[in-house]
Amino acid sequence: MPLILHGLTPLHWAVGGAGIAIITLALLFVANRRLGISTGLEDVCSFVLPVPYFARDAVRSARQWRLPFIAGLVVGGFLSAVLGGGFTPTWDLGIFDQVIGFGPAGKLAWMFAGGLFIGFGTRLAGGCTSGHGIFGLSNFEFPSLISTLSFMAAGIVTTQVVYRVIF
Amino acid sequence: MALLYVFFGTIFGFILSRSGAADYNYIQSMFLFTSFQLYGIIGTAVALTAPGIWLIKRYGRTMRGRPISIELKPQHRGNVVGGALFGIGWSICGMCPGPIFVNIGEGKIYALAALAGALAGAGLFGAVYTRVQGLFRLPRLVVGTGDG
């Protein structure tokens, strides 16, 4: 199955997984940092929302590395597009377009709604696929196992309901 | 130092972009059990990161000789409930937090709405933290000046 991005052929899963492992380990060994991306959402919120939760030491002390890392994620996606056929802004959403078929306004609403679940859920769980799923599981942390099982199960149920029941 | 993190993030983002981890179709086919790709990626990442962390902890120091200190995540009811909410969002958007940023970089316009939603959701959680703290047995906030 080609990627939505320019119909490119994806890397072998073992290469993708090894690359993720190398960066995760490099962050720890070079800079003593625990991989975690969703906490970066808090770093952004902490600039505009004056509530105690965003004034935690854990948030303020990590801005200096999480925000540059996140900026890098955007750069990485941009480079991938440029090197893979050019940067061309698109609404293309793969099987969503074939099966659900909402236009741009519907997609924005759909994505914003999903984003709310991602933002609230990852903060309540204390992590996402990176902090719990990759780092936490690799470090044998029980809360990460619970969280990972929970978000995988909920993702499976939601997609099955959306693509096999509703649409 | 900031440039180093931009560099790491760039490689990480490129890998997510090119492996399918930031691709809507691959996320849905993981949850539909029609593709092994994402299970292979996550499984390989954990299988290699686990012994790596063990070795680094055994060595006990960073490359520059500073002691390794890994902040553990707390256990509470939010792990299950928050995980479930996040799983629903991951399925709806076809992106988890890292890939939201990667998709923005790739030029997927709708990913901006996912980011706006994620920031609003995280902001909402921060705003109601003290009210849901008891319900989910969340840890007490340690508020200070921090070193950032």
Question: For residue B146, what pLDDT is reported?
Answer: 43
Instruction: Identify which of A24, A77, A142 has the shortest CB distance to residue B17.
Output: A77
User: Regarding predicted confidence, which is higher, A114 or A59?
Assistant: A114
Quick one: average pLDDT of A58-77?
91
Subunit contact B84:A153, Cβ cutoff 8 A: yes
Question: For residue B144, what pLDDT is reported?
Answer: 55
Q: Does A6 touch chain B (CB under 8 A)?
A: no
Quick one: average pLDDT of A102-130?
97
Instruction: Identify which of B103, B116, B136 has the shortest CB distance to residue A77.
Output: B103
Are B85 and A5 a contacting pair, CB within 8 Å?
A: no
Subunit contact A77:B19, Cβ cutoff 8 A: no
Quick one: average pLDDT of A124-134?
96
Quick one: average pLDDT of A152-164?
98
pLDDT in tens, B82-120: 999 999 999 999 999 999 999 999 999 999 999 999 999
pLDDT band at A61 (very low <50, low <70, confident <90, very high): confident
Q: How far is A45 from chain B (nearest CA, A)?
A: 6
Q: Does A31 touch chain B (CB under 8 A)?
A: yes
Partners of B133 on chain A (C-beta within 8 Å) are: none
Low-confidence ranges of chain B (pLDDT < 70): 143-148
Instruction: Identify which of B92, B98, B105 has the shortest CB distance to residue A117.
Output: B92
Task: List the beta bridge partners of residue B108.
Answer: A90
Q: pLDDT averaged over chain B?
A: 94
How far apart (Å, rounded) are the C-alpha atoms in residues A114 and A101?
17
What is the value of ipTM here, to two decimals? Answer: 0.97
- How many beta carbons lie within 10 A of that of residue A81, not counting itself? 24
Task: List the beta bridge partners of residue B143.
Answer: A56
Q: Is A85 left (phi over 0), alpha (psi -120 to 50) or beta?
A: left
pLDDT band at A119 (very low <50, low <70, confident <90, very high): very high
Distance of CA B80 to the CA centre of its chain: 16
Q: Which helix (H) or strand (E) holds A62?
A: none
Question: For residue A92, what pLDDT is reported?
Answer: 97
Share of chain A above pLDDT 90, in %: 89
Partners of B146 on chain A (C-beta within 8 Å) are: 56-57, 59-61
Look up the pTM and report it. 0.96
Question: For residue A34, what pLDDT is reported?
Answer: 94
Q: Does B135 touch chain A (CB under 8 A)?
A: no
Quick one: average pLDDT of A124-144?
97
Q: Is the pLDDT of residue A122 over 70?
A: yes
Are B80 and A53 a contacting pair, CB within 8 Å?
A: no
Subunit contact B31:A89, Cβ cutoff 8 A: no
Residues in chain B: 148
Subunit contact B105:A73, Cβ cutoff 8 A: yes
Question: For residue A157, what pLDDT is reported?
Answer: 98
Question: For residue A59, what pLDDT is reported?
Answer: 82
